[in-house]
Amino acid sequence: MREIAVFGGSSHPELTAEICAHLQVPQRPVLLKRFANDCLEVQLQSNCRERDVYVIQSLVRPVQENLVELLLMADAARGASAARVSAVIPHYAYARSDKKDAPRISIGGRLVADLLVTAGVDRVLTLNLHSPQVHGFFSVPVDHLHALRELAAHFRQRDLSNTVVVSPDLGYAKSAAAFARRLGLPVAAGAKERISDTEVRITAIIGDVAGRDVIVLDDEISRGTTVFELLDRLREQGARSVAVACTHGLFADNALDKLAAADDVTEIVCTNSAPLAAEHSKLTILSVAPALAEAISRIHNGESVSSLFDH
Ligand code: R5P
């Protein structure tokens, strides 16, 4: 069996360390240099020759810096004769750029997938892509995990007798339904239209939420525009309380504090796919390190990943 070698970029060192601890392998050092002309250089400081190499980098702020670092790590591993290079990308930020919904716009999700392959990435392990079709942007194998198992385990500890799961939009309704099934709950969904990065409109909620305890489930919370709009509709329709859950807690523009300040929001739950400096009494962060480590171990050993993380 080839030796495994795990390297982490600078986007989320805590998660890399946690994954390595679960795998019981050392984290290999990476030297990152920035030259006077602002260019980056990466040196992987451990042997890669004929190794099964994993480079872990979440594409979070500063996304462009972290992306280039990931590309350089993959290039360095390939150049150092790695047997296989797998990019572990807990949050693939460019997945939101997945369609041409305005004239002359770029489709970053596809371009970044191509860049990763060009840099030397042989396979990708990622978590909850914004839309499932982004998986198809990659010309190399992708193991696409979700965090529904972790989120469901968290909510199973609650009294769910009066609860309904609500997806903010129809696009995520399928995942919300899968999540609701795990908990034996009904599901509802918002009719959402995104006007711009800072404006969304939810005109209706399809399903019954009056007097119910709601779990809002989304793939990510960025500025919180979506969830705030949904909260307005839920209040109008007489929801009793709201817990907010997502995989990627990005919480831009102080979204966490704003959300936690809402009296009817009882709790906010996300995973550690993105690093979170802020803490809040209403916030619970679930670790995806065990799931990612298990997937890495299975990829390394040539075992099924899908059987573990069935959608
Ligand atoms: C959009 O379709 C996604 O599912 C999320 O609802 C969105 O990315 C969240 O962004 P924000 O919090 O800025 O509304």
Q: What are phi and psi of 158, to 5 degrees?
A: -95, 165
pLDDT for res 311: 52
pLDDT range class, residue 184, cuts 50, 70, 90: very high
- Asked whether 251 and 224 are in contact (CB, 8 A), the reply is yes
pLDDT tens digits, residue range 123-136?
999 999 999 999 99
Q: Does the CB atom of residue 52 touch ligand 1 within 6 A? A: no
Tell me the mean pLDDT in the region 99-127: 97
> CA–CA distance from 282 to each of 178, 232, 268, 279, 298 (Å)?
25, 19, 6, 9, 35
Instruction: Give me the half-sphere count of Cα atoms (radius 13 Å) on the Cβ side of residue 27.
Output: 20
How long a stretch of residues is the chain?
Answer: 311
Q: Does 243 score more than 60 pLDDT?
A: yes
pLDDT range class, residue 115, cuts 50, 70, 90: very high
Long-range contacts of 234-238 (CB under 8 A, 24+ apart): 234/166, 234/205, 234/209, 235/264, 237/205, 237/209, 237/210, 238/209, 238/210, 238/211
Least confident of 43-57, 209-223, 251-265, 296-310: 296-310
Task: Specify the pairing of strand 283-286 against strand 199-206.
Answer: unpaired
Q: Does the CB atom of residue 225 touch ligand 1 within 6 A? A: yes
Q: Does the CB atom of residue 16 touch ligand 1 within 6 A? A: no
Average pLDDT over the chain reads 96
pLDDT range class, residue 87, cuts 50, 70, 90: very high
Distance between Cα 49 and ligand 1 center (Å): 41
Q: What CA–CA distance (Å, rounded) separates 141 from 5? A: 19
pLDDT for res 91: 98
- Between 63-79 and 108-119, two packed helices, what is the crossing angle to 10 degrees? 30
Lookup result for tokens 């602002």 = 38
Residues 6+ away with beta carbon under 8 Å from 29: 7, 45, 46
Q: Does the CB atom of residue 226 touch ligand 1 within 6 A? A: yes
Q: Does 100 score more than 60 pLDDT?
A: yes
Strand partners, 196: 199
pLDDT range class, residue 180, cuts 50, 70, 90: very high
- Asked whether 273 and 251 are in contact (CB, 8 A), the reply is no
pLDDT for res 310: 63
pLDDT for res 95: 97
Closest residue by Cα to atom 5, ligand 1, is 220
Closest residue by Cα to atom 6, ligand 1, is 226
Active site residues: 192
Q: What CA–CA distance (Å, rounded) separates 20 from 24? A: 6
pLDDT tens digits, residue range 252-271?
999 999 999 999 999 999 99
Distance between Cα 220 and ligand 1 center (Å): 6
Q: Does the CB atom of residue 95 touch ligand 1 within 6 A? A: no
Lookup result for tokens 């919480």 = 251
Full strand arrangement of the beta sheet holding 265-271: 199-206, 187-196, 163-167, 213-221, 241-249, 265-271, 283-286
Report which DSSP code applies to 272.
B
